[in-house]
Amino acid sequence: MEAPLICTERQRLQRTISRYKLGQEICYAINNVHNFFKQTKMKKAILFLAALICTLHSFSQQTSIKNIVTINLPSGSKKIANSKVGSISTEYSRLSTESDNVEFYKIDSVVFQFAASPGEVPQDHLEQRKKGMDDLYETANWNHKSVIETINGIKYLTVYYEHQGTASISVTGINKARNKGIVISTRVDMTKKTKAEKIMKQLIKTIKFSE
């Protein structure tokens, strides 16, 4: 039979060894967790940079509209002759094609009309235009909405309405000096409404008026 002192020392030694092994296991586990998060953050950073590069690349086609504004169109956008717009779809045949200030582009299967021109307007031009559009569509009892907002220092009026199974979106922008303006508009069937709204929001973020 071992002496009590020897038993006590042996137990202490065993506990010390157990604590040491446990400590090693904990350290190993902590390192694994640290490496996991480190790798995850790196992956997220790489994915973010890839997404950013793709976004910048997709909107890399800078286009001048009548020397009034420049706007970045998505890669693959195609300019359409005014005379051919109506042949694409009945929705697009209703867009005005007669003005010299108008250009048409097909962006991801959606046709947009760009109309840019010089000319001074009153300070409350967009507010008055909004009121007129609201009164018109409320009288006609059409589903509609309108909002005025400032993006990158440019004031915009966005008007949306639905009629006969189609959705119409128009955005009017005025420069700070109130002597140049642009109107971007489209009319699509309801299945393309969400896509058209998304493209429109991306387009107006890239608009720059010429000096």
CATH of the domain at 80: 3.40.1000.10
3-state secondary structure of 207: coil
The pLDDT value given to residue 23: 53
pLDDT by position in tens, the chain (length 211) = 444 433 444 454 455 445 545 455 555 555 664 565 566 555 555 555 545 455 544 545 889 999 999 999 999 999 998 878 777 766 665 666 666 778 999 999 999 999 999 999 999 999 999 999 999 999 999 999 999 999 999 999 999 999 999 999 999 999 999 999 999 999 999 999 999 999 999 999 999 999 8
Residues facing residue 118 across a β-bridge: 180
- Full-model pTM: 0.69
153: left (phi over 0), alpha (psi -120 to 50) or beta: left
117 and 173 belong to one structural domain: yes
Verify that 96 and 190 share a domain, yes or no: yes
Do residues 50 and 101 both lie within one domain? no
Contact 199, 107 (CB under 8 A): yes
Domain count, the chain: 2
Asked if residue 115 and residue 71 are part of one domain, the reply reads yes
Angle at alpha carbon of residue 109, lines to 100 and 76, rounded to 5°: 80
Q: Say whether both 45 and 74 belong to one domain.
A: no
Same-domain pairing of 198 and 99? yes
Same domain, 176 and 204: yes
Q: Which domain holds residue 37?
A: 1-58
